[in-house]
Amino acid sequence: MKPLLFALCVVFAFGGLSAQKPDWQPSPGHTQMPIWPGAVPDAQPVAGPEVAATAKGLIAGKSGDIVENVSRPTMTVYWPSGKNTGAAVVVFPGGGYQDLAIDLEGTEVCDWLTSKGIACVLLKYRVPDSGPAWYDGCKCYIHAQAPMALQDAQRTVGLVRFQAAEWHIDPHKIGVLGFSAGGHMVAAMSTHFERRVYPAVDAADKESCRPDFAVAVYPGHLWIDDKKFELNPDIRTHITGQTPPTFLLQAEDDYVDNVNQSLVYYIALKNAKVPVEMHLYAQGGHAFGLRRTELPITGWPQLVETWLGTIGMIAK
């Protein structure tokens, strides 16, 4: 996702931002927990303190928070309501690795998952410049000095698996779900789990950070060359038969991340004999989250629920 384009899309889709707040806080009854016990690895300076601005006029007429300048990543656990399936999902909001659409692609997703008996862990990962991004100045992709977002994601999945018994989670039913740049991180987590991209800090880092399943919704940063139909080599060269079962969803009229993002990843997974299911729709655009519209694509959560049943993560 191109940062400038994403910013324009935010203004267009969200209708502007309200006054900034000091930082983002989850809804009452939920508490953010730091994922690092001490110093954050490879810390990079940010433009200022963390702020959360409420976007007005979001899809379906609802507002939601956009978080900027995250230097201390946190996770917020949302417990299942009703029957506990034992499954858990770590959610990565999108934002082009520049900010986080933490309500549209975060808290609302957790509300849906917990209503289905699935524990949800919302990761507020470091931004900006914490992952690969397109820059208009050089017309090129620039990689972050260190993969800070991936570090945060690996650490979080390890923490959830480490706490699985205490949290009543099946350690073999921990998946990841992400949107846009978060969808890229889903692919990165699915292909970079054999070793941590940071020095281990405690016992949680001895746990596997491999997801048991992966869901990428309108993913970005996977198709990086307009002249070649080719998967990002940082992902392609790490796909193996151990890459987890994957669900892909995207709209053909996505104006931010071309539908080729999903197509090239799907083909690479199929070639590696990784179980993969893909759903493409003619219309839907980008950054729709779970907000209901008249378009068929907004029925995607039911498709994910059905898929989770078919791969044995939840009861059919």
pLDDT at 59: 65
Q: Can you say whether the dihedral through the CA atoms of 209, 210, 211, 217 is positive or negative? A: positive
Q: Are 291 and 262 in contact (CB under 8 A)?
A: no
Report DSSP letters for 246-306, one per residue.
EEEEEETT-SSS-THHHHHHHHHHHHTT--EEEEEES---S--TT---SSGGGGHHHHHHH
Give yes or no for residue 157 having a pLDDT over 80: yes
Question: What type of residue sits at position 253?
Answer: D
Domain ranges, ordered by start, for the chain:
3-310
Q: In this predicted model, what pLDDT tens digit does every residue of 241-292 receive, in sequence order? A: 999 999 999 999 999 999 999 999 999 999 999 999 999 999 999 999 999 9
Give yes or no for residue 231 having a pLDDT over 70: yes
Give yes or no for residue 32 having a pLDDT over 90: yes
What's the mean pLDDT in 28-34? 94
Q: Within 13 A of 198's CA, how many CA atoms are on the CB side?
A: 24
pLDDT at 56: 67
- What is the average pLDDT score of the chain? 91
Q: From the CB of residue 185, how many other CB atoms can be counted at a distance below 10 Å?
A: 33
Q: Angle at CA 100, nearest 5°, toward 32 and 303?
A: 90
At the topology level, CATH places domain 3-310 in Rossmann fold (3.40.50)
Q: Token pair for residue 43? A: 């810390």
Cβ-based neighbours of 274, under 8 Å, separated by 6 or more: 239, 241, 243, 244, 245, 246
State residue 70 phi and psi, 5-degree precision.
-85, 115
Question: What type of residue sits at position 262?
Answer: S
